[in-house]
A and B are shown apart, each in its own frame.
Chain A
């Protein structure tokens, strides 16, 4: 399965010169917890709601501080056509909860650990169904025919 096939949410981008207040408002309006920071056509960072709290509020930055002051850069990226096992490998080797997905070098969306967990949970439920059925509705073999 390709990485692009498991992205569940739209991606939202913000410019580096926009403010952290803008970022917070956009997150609220778009219903997302992270924004891609895009300069021109290039992804230059990611800012999350956690970044706004830890790097913004906790350090006393004013609401009109630029968003690139609190963003995470460089960004761990994955190609949209990469197989999903590559995403697992990246999550394993980097302490991140999101991967920026790019196609032809351009940002197209965000793959989150939550996306993968939801898929895995659904797969596990599918796998457990026949086992559950066997436990709840035990199969009884027909008795052997009586010998004459």
Chain B
């Protein structure tokens, strides 16, 4: 998986009825866009390290310099 700062990572719900969750990539700590990523979770603004698994997908955005 590769991500850039500003991308959104969506994590699929694990159980029936679970909603998807998402977070914003603040920093890429792995080589060549790889994980781990420092992310910010939407509602609370908490920052964590994120190690994406098969339940996660990256939504790239066009970055304006």
Minimum distance in angstroms from B18 CB to a CB of chain A: 6
Minimum distance in angstroms from A16 CB to a CB of chain B: 12
Residues of B within 8 A of A29 (CB): 21, 23, 41-44, 46
Minimum distance in angstroms from B16 CB to a CB of chain A: 13
Give the bracket for the number of chain B residues in contact with chain A: 20 to 34
Contact of B11 among A7, A30, A108 (CB under 8 A): A30
Question: Per DSSP, are chain B's interface residues mostly helix, strand or loop, or mixed?
Answer: loop
A12 to B41, CA, bound (A): 11
A14 within 8 A of B: yes
A12 to B14, CA, bound (A): 15
A54 within 8 A of B: no
A109 within 8 A of B: yes
B49 within 8 A of A: yes
Give the bracket for the number of chain A residues in contact with chain B: 20 to 34
Minimum distance in angstroms from B12 CB to a CB of chain A: 9
B56 within 8 A of A: yes
**Contact indicator A38/B49 (Cβ below 8 Å):** yes
B52 within 8 A of A: yes
A31 within 8 A of B: yes
Q: Mark B34-45, 1 if CB is under 8 A from A, else 0.
A: 011000011110
**Contact indicator A108/B51 (Cβ below 8 Å):** yes
B33 within 8 A of A: no
Residues of B within 8 A of A63 (CB): none
Given contacts A29-B21, A31-B11, A31-B14, contact A10 B52 (CB under 8 A): yes
**Contact indicator A30/B21 (Cβ below 8 Å):** yes
Minimum distance in angstroms from A71 CB to a CB of chain B: 15
**Chain A contacts with B in 1-21, Cβ cutoff 8 A:** 7-14
Residues of A within 8 A of B50 (CB): 10-13
**Contact indicator A8/B41 (Cβ below 8 Å):** no
Query: Could you list which residues of chain B lie within 8 angstroms of chain A, going by C-beta atoms?
Result: 11, 13-14, 18, 21, 23, 35-36, 41-44, 46, 48-56
